[in-house]
Amino acid sequence: MTNHVSLEDSVFALKERIKELSCLYRIAELASLPELEPAALLQQALNLVPPAMQYPEHACAHLMVNGVSYYSERFQASTNCLTAGISTQISSLGCLEVFYPDKQNLKFLPEEEKLIDTLAQHISLIMERRSIQENNAKLQEQLRHADRLATIGQLSAGIAHEINEPLSAILGFAQLVLAENPLTDNATADLQKIVNASLHAREVVRKLMLFSRQVPPKMVPVDINKLIEDGFYFLENRCAKQGVQIIRDLDPSVPSVIADPSQMHQVLVNLSVNSMQAMPNGGLIQISTRRIDNDVQICIRDTGEGMNAEVMQRIFIPFFTTKDIDQGTGLGLSVVHGIISAHNASIKVESEPGKGSVFKILMKVNSEESS
């Protein structure tokens, strides 16, 4: 009789082990599917837990990872539960809980306690591996982006130098001919068009050289508020003609920063023109300055068309533009990014379609005034 009972116990234990191993194997299978989104992976993994318990018809489970909860079918919390923490080497991510109903008076096996701990460790490893993969993918994309920028920078510098000399000749000879008298009105008008086109082309070359860092910044202490006042003085008439109102919210107590005034003026102009182009039917540009710890923040906010996430990811890439061919070169914001990077500063953008855009620049306070 004793041998018969022992055999039944062995068969029961074997069946339990098979369920547990099947659960672990299927979770490992899920983890090997890179196309499976993390939320779907966690939910499907959680659904495998109750069937692995001694009483699957009564078991339910709850998984919380990074503040998000997942529940198995027929979930009902109770005091009769097993809990295991989910964590990485760096931080705690959440927990895995398995419940039996209180009124059933069901006991968890010691092997089930080990299983829950093992499952929690597997889920921790899965999340850590996914996090590493995502970080690697981001780093690779950043490297590819940096490589593209370096290549375009070298190309831009070469183009700028090749174009500059003949462009100067065209502009110079056109201005010489304009100085001759007498000229017919038509000839004068045509020559002026040549001069204007040459000046525009020279401005594009200058932006190319700025982007490729061929024009080194001349760093001096700069009063950002005064720079903004001077810069917007020349933009105000253009804004008024387009029905764009400018609001200044400049903190008079912000300290100076070390910067190249002409390049920072270029940043303000490019950002403001970008905002104006996003408001063809008029709107509002608000520019503010604030001190945030050891930084001075320049914030330019508009009520324009806004951008979606895909466009925001690409706005600083040279020659990328959503405008018509005759409305922009796609260099304005890349020049802004290049100048800000050369100043060891940072720029961030927030935007939503139909809700306008906000550009925030953070620049280090002049160390002589930081105290």
Give the tens place of pLDDT for each residue, 240-286: 888 899 999 999 999 999 998 888 888 888 898 888 888 988 899 99
Question: For residue 235, what are its two tokens?
Answer: 């933009």
- What is the model's pTM? 0.47
DSSP H stretches of helix in the chain: 2-31, 38-47, 110-179, 185-211, 224-241, 261-277, 309-312, 332-342
Distance CA 237, CA 174 (A): 29
When pLDDT is averaged across residues 66-71 and rounded to a whole number, the result is 91
Res. 299: pLDDT tops 90: yes
Residue 369 banded pLDDT, cuts 50, 70, 90: low
Residue 174 banded pLDDT, cuts 50, 70, 90: confident
Task: Kindly report the CATH class assigned to 220-364.
Answer: alpha beta
Distance CA 330, CA 315 (A): 8
Amino acid occupying residue 257:
V
Residue 219 banded pLDDT, cuts 50, 70, 90: confident
Residue 1 banded pLDDT, cuts 50, 70, 90: very low
Res. 214: pLDDT tops 60: no
When pLDDT is averaged across residues 280-305 and rounded to a whole number, the result is 93
Residue 328 banded pLDDT, cuts 50, 70, 90: low
DSSP H stretches of helix in 180-277: 185-211, 224-241, 261-277
Residue 64: the pLDDT is 93
SS3 41: helix
Q: Is the dihedral of CA 143, 146, 152, 157 positive or negative?
A: negative
Residue 2 banded pLDDT, cuts 50, 70, 90: very low
Residue 208 banded pLDDT, cuts 50, 70, 90: low
- What's the mean per-residue pLDDT of the chain? 83
Angle at 332 between CA 331 and CA 336, to 5 degrees: 110
Distance CA 209, CA 232 (A): 24
Distance CA 218, CA 225 (A): 19
CATH number of 2-138: 3.30.450.40
Assess contact for 96 and 116: CB atoms under 8 A. yes
Q: Which of 105-109, 200-204, 211-215 has the weakest average pLDDT?
A: 211-215
Among the listed residues 108, 36, 42, 106, the one whose alpha carbon sits nearest the alpha carbon of residue 69: 42
